[in-house]
Structure 1
Amino acid sequence: MRTVASILWQRLDAPGHDACRLERSETAWQLDGAAVFRQADGRIAQLHYRVRCDLHWHTQWGTVRGWLGDATVDFSVAHDAHGRWLLNDTPVPELAHCIDLDLGFTPATNLIPLRRLQLAQGERAAAPAAWLDLEGGELGLLEQHYERCGESAYDYRAERFDYAARLEVTAEGFVRDYPERWVIVPS
């Protein structure tokens, strides 16, 4: 794997940071990162994540390992060649229409649909994702919508969380400013 870009975010709604790098090989893209933050309930989290996509930005697999409070976190997500999603080897058939994996605790995985969709200015698209719920230990549906509204800006909407905002992104597709959630730490 060759490193393409790295980023460091600061969490805005609670103390925390997230560091991620984007890597590429001849056959795949990979996000490799670590997030440390305090939950609203006071629990501290330390999570290492890795998500692998093919060259067309279709998620192949992802892992999340670490801890949340006194609980160990160890999830493995796979998206096989038949479009089936598996969480720790258990099939999740209701997500067969999803292409992307979303890890809600990090802005890193927003890069995946942004790179895959390659929207032109003024274009919009739905990007339903398999969303890893750390609290519930489940893989569920996250309906997401993106509309490119500038060279480096997208209007983003996720009804599940009653959230809508304008995301500013870097040239590589990392979210630079995720209002009320995350912001890039300048170098």
Structure 2
Amino acid sequence: MMGRELMWSALQWPATEHLILRAGGDGVVADGVIVALDGRPTRVAYRIEADAGWAVRRLTLATNGEPDLVLERRDGDRWYDGDGAERADLAGCVEVDVALTPFTNTLPIRRLGLAVGEASEDLRIIYVQVDRGLTSDAVNQRYVRLADDVYRYSSGEFTADLTVDADGFVVDYPDLWRRIA
């Protein structure tokens, strides 16, 4: 059983994130809280449940204490919202990427287990934008392992070289996040 407690600090706006992670043979559970000041104080809490191979099964996200978004993967790679309605637009996605946290980059890094120099195929990932009314859309992302501790992440025109620790958790997300604990 792996247990980790991590914190990140945003580099371009006032925000911090605290994450408690438990991983074992029965799966992975990540409980995170992001507190940010973007015009007004905002608290975003999320819980991600994944299988033992780090493929996401469920995302629950709440802003300012109210559950706002629930997505669950079942029946293979079919996604459903909190009311049980199928989200056909998200079919085939395995990971989620919550825009306000560097943790969600760890999900494909751990699941793929790339060797140095190896690149992923384009991954179809659910991208959740907190600042745009919790929109959730499928996007393509790609990871290339450049070194033992560096992955190049790209999505559309955006590219960043992420420094990670031995467990694949982001240490430095250039210009956006830095791990502080």
Say whether the fold is shared (TM-score over 0.5). Answer: yes
Preserved CA contact (<8 Å) 2:60 2:67: no
Alignment-derived partner of residue 147 in structure 1: 144
Q: Report the counterpart of residue 7 of structure 1 in structure 2.
A: 6
Structure 1 residue runs of 5 or longer lacking an equivalent are: none
Aligned counterparts of 1:123 and 1:21: Cα–Cα separation in 2: 29
Correspondence 1:51 to 2:48:
yes
Give the Cα–Cα distance (whole angstroms) in 1 for the partners of residues 107 and 41 of structure 2.
27
The more displaced of 172-181 and 88-97 is: 88-97
Deviation sequence 1:68-90 (CA, Å, 0-9, x none)? 9xxx5521110113311122233
Question: For the Cα contact (< 8 Å) 1:168–1:175, is it kept in 2?
Answer: yes
State percent identity of aligned pairs: 29
Mapped to 2, the partners of 1:55 and 1:119 lie a distance apart of: 17
Contact conserved, 1:16 with 1:35, CA < 8 A, in 2?
A: yes
- The answer to whether the Cα contact below 8 Å between 2:103 and 2:170 also exists between their aligned partners in 1 is yes
Match of 1:92 among 87, 105, 109: 87
SS of aligned partner of 2:100: coil
Aligned residue-pair number: 178
Separation of aligned partners in 2, 1:138 and 1:130: 10
Residue in 1 that maps onto 2:18? 19
1:122 aligns with 2:117: yes
- Partner of residue 31, structure 2: 32
SS of structure 2 residue aligned to 1:111: helix
Give the C-alpha shift of residue 183 in structure 1.
Answer: 0.4
The alignment's TM-score, normalised by the length of structure 2, stands at 0.91
Distance 2:155 2:88 in 1: 21
Q: Which residue of 2 aligns with 1:66?
A: 63
Q: Secondary structure of the equivalent of 1:116?
A: helix
Cα deviation for residue 142 of structure 1 reads: 2.4
Structure-2 residue corresponding to 1:184: 179
- Where does residue 96 of structure 2 map in the other structure? 101
**Partners of 1:52 and 1:24 in 2: how far apart?**
10
1:109 partner amino acid: T
In structure 2, list runs of 5 or more residues that go unmatched: none
Q: CA RMSD in A?
A: 1.7
Q: Specify the code of the residue in structure 2 equivalent to 1:74.
A: D
The residue identity in structure 1 corresponding to 2:81 is L
For 1:121, give the aligned amino acid. Answer: V
Question: CA–CA distance in 1 between the matches of 2:76 and 2:93?
Answer: 12
**TM-score when normalising by structure 1:** 0.88
Check conservation: 1:87, 1:139, Cα contact below 8 A: no
Matched-pair contact (CA < 8 Å) for 2:2–2:24: no
What residue identity is the alignment partner of 2:22? Answer: E
* 27-36 or 76-85, larger mean C-alpha shift: 76-85
Residue number in structure 2 paired with 1:175: 170
